[in-house]
Amino acid sequence: MRKDVFLKTLRVGGEVFHYFSLRELGDLAGFEVKRMPYSIRVLLENLLRNVDDYVVEWSDVEALGRWPRVDHGREIPFKPTRAILQDFTGVPAVVDLAAMRSALKRIGKPPSKINPLIPVDLVVDHSIQVDFYGIKESFILNLEREFERNRERYTLLKWAQQAFRNFRVVPPGKGIIHQVNLEYLTRVIDYRQHDGRVFAFPDTLLGTDSHTPMINSIGVVGWGVGGIEAEAVILGQPYYMPIPKVVGVYLTGELQEGTTATDLVLTVTQRLRKHGVVGKFVEYFGPGVKKLSIPDRATVANMAPEYGATIGFFPIDQETLSYLRMTGRDEKLVELYSREQMLFRDYDDGEEIEYSEVVEIDLSEVEPSIAGPSNPEDRIPLREAKRKVLEAMKLFFKQRGTEAEIEDDQIWFYEGGGAAATQRTVRKIGAPQVKVAIDGEETELTHGCVVIS
């Protein structure tokens, strides 16, 4: 079946956008698109739009279109709209592209033929160091020191931005990569000119940071990959992935006063770790989603790597449109396109989506919590923090062969700057000790002590 059969137009203001219709695909091919998770609909559109009978074949569309009766072991080619790189992995990628240009030049070919085939944004944030703090000039001084310290790297990146097509650099001082991606880079619904026509499609991306799924909070499918996979995608290769299972997380109620999105994400991480979502998509739905702001959703989506999922997806809804307006981006195309393509979530329409599995979480049951002591999923309710931390400390000392005398009620006041605590001793069993007199006072030194002269 030719994909042109599904080509439709959409008028937004005075502009005409072309798109490949999921609604038409469902009608003509017999796919139950309305029963698919929203994240699967985005993947389906991606396959349909990129059908070329070479890399992406009609059989790939059919394999996903039969949802939920699919073979989860079958791989499909995913071609993201763009890529986003942080500087630790992005700079080596730029060096690789430059090396390819040098290789072409050596064999007498035009080096300019080597370019990213999809838009690439490199955000400098991971290598930033803080040398100045506590004064109002800190930001400027740190920025100046950063450019001095990494002059060679920034010279390379400035050259790359000028030399390569489809390549932009966000310099240091503009924010962390996920913040810049969420607040500035994404359009949610992207568009591009091809053969004299403007095509609209969902924004999708792969990034070189594990917390790339933060962008899932506004209906954009994207996740983190390694540097090699990112380079392959940048050069036009698809990212092959098995058809994912989708775990629907049904949210009810709303967060109580005194609880935060951090408390929620610790609860979600604990629940989903126990359920098992590794290698799966997670999609949030239910009346509780309406009670979460975009920053709250971003917190939950950002932690997808911690609960083991590939993505933590919130479909486009009214809150998404409000956020786009607030951050100075036009929401008209986003709303019209997503509604026409059945990508807009209206929580009152009573639709029945078929998820692979469903987990229910009542937001009203979320309570103030802390993470740890070892992993984010080891959530400790704040009301139990004192007891749990003491237990963890005692276990810590016991496992390392130490003796600890801890006055449960006093030590924490002492360390927190409160009332004086009972003197306690922590001593390595069998460790040699040396008594030293310093300024007339005798003290003991043992392995691990730090002496500053």
For 55, other C-beta atoms within 10 Å of its C-beta total 14
pLDDT tops 90 at residue 222: yes
Q: Which residues contact 232 (CB under 8 A, 6 or more apart)?
A: 239
> What mean pLDDT is reported for the chain?
90
pLDDT digits (tens, 9 = 90+) for 168-218: 999 988 889 999 999 999 999 999 999 999 999 999 999 999 999 999 999
Helix (H) or strand (E) holding 194: strand 189-194
Query: What pLDDT, on a 0 to 100 scale, did the predictor assign at position 394?
Result: 82
CA 226 remoteness from chain centre: 14
Show me where the domains of the chain are located: 3-78, 82-367, 400-453
Helix (H) or strand (E) holding 359: strand 357-362
In 3D space, the residue among 50, 57, 5, 9 whose CA is nearest the CA of residue 29 turns out to be: 5
Query: What pLDDT, on a 0 to 100 scale, did the predictor assign at position 57?
Result: 96
Separation CA 309–CA 297 (nearest Å): 15
Alpha helical stretches, state H, 313-368: 318-326, 332-340
pLDDT tops 70 at residue 410: no
**Burial (CB count within 10 angstroms: exposed 0-12, middle 13-18, buried 19+), residue 4:** exposed
Tell me the mean pLDDT in the region 308-331. 97
How many CA atoms are closer than 13 Å to the CA of 81, on its beta-carbon side? 23
Tell me the mean pLDDT in the region 358-380. 89
Average the pLDDT over each of 79-93, 326-340, 390-404, 419-433 and give the range with the smallest value: 419-433
pLDDT tops 70 at residue 447: no
Do the Cβ atoms of 285 and 345 come closer than 8 Å?
yes
- Omega cis (within 30) before 172: no
pLDDT tops 70 at residue 404: no
Q: Which two tokens stand for residue 104?
A: 């072409």
Query: What pLDDT, on a 0 to 100 scale, did the predictor assign at position 371?
Result: 87
Q: What is the dihedral of CA 44, 48, 52, 56, to 10 degrees?
A: 10
pLDDT digits (tens, 9 = 90+) for 424-446: 555 555 556 778 887 777 777 76
In 3D space, the residue among 200, 243, 246, 203 whose CA is nearest the CA of residue 221 turns out to be: 203
Separation CA 261–CA 377 (nearest Å): 15
Confidence tier at 279 by pLDDT (50, 70, 90): very high
Separation CA 90–CA 121 (nearest Å): 9
Q: What percent of the chain has pLDDT over 90?
A: 70
Query: What pLDDT, on a 0 to 100 scale, did the predictor assign at position 350?
Result: 66
Query: What pLDDT, on a 0 to 100 scale, did the predictor assign at position 377?
Result: 77
Residue 398 per-residue DSSP state: H
Query: What pLDDT, on a 0 to 100 scale, did the predictor assign at position 391?
Result: 84
Do the Cβ atoms of 245 and 357 come closer than 8 Å?
yes
Tell me the mean pLDDT in the region 397-420. 57
CA 405 remoteness from chain centre: 43
Q: Which two tokens stand for residue 185?
A: 């880079």
Separation CA 185–CA 333 (nearest Å): 16
Answer positive or negative: Cα dihedral of 294, 297, 299, 303: negative
Separation CA 221–CA 239 (nearest Å): 14
Separation CA 303–CA 208 (nearest Å): 15
Residue 406 per-residue DSSP state: -
Query: What pLDDT, on a 0 to 100 scale, did the predictor assign at position 24?
Result: 97
CA-angle at 12, arms to 8 and 14, nearest 5°: 110
Separation CA 397–CA 426 (nearest Å): 8
The CA distances from residue 108 to 116, 231, 235, in Å, are 21, 24, 21
pLDDT digits (tens, 9 = 90+) for 101-126: 999 999 999 999 999 999 999 999 87
Separation CA 400–CA 123 (nearest Å): 42
Average the pLDDT over each of 203-212, 291-300, 418-427 and give the range with the smallest value: 418-427
* CATH number for domain 82-367, candidates 3.30.365.10, 3.30.499.10, 3.40.1110.10, 3.40.50.300: 3.30.499.10
Helix (H) or strand (E) holding 22: helix 22-29
Query: What pLDDT, on a 0 to 100 scale, did the predictor assign at position 425?
Result: 55
In 3D space, the residue among 54, 83, 56, 67 whose CA is nearest the CA of residue 22 turns out to be: 67
Query: What pLDDT, on a 0 to 100 scale, did the predictor assign at position 119?
Result: 97
Secondary structure (DSSP) of 215-235? GGGGT-EEEE--HHHHHHHHT
pLDDT digits (tens, 9 = 90+) for 47-63: 999 999 999 999 999 99
Q: What percent of the chain has pLDDT over 70?
A: 91
pLDDT tops 50 at residue 453: no
In one-letter notation, the amino acid at residue 110 is P
Separation CA 189–CA 298 (nearest Å): 18
Alpha helical stretches, state H, 328-451: 332-340, 385-399, 411-415
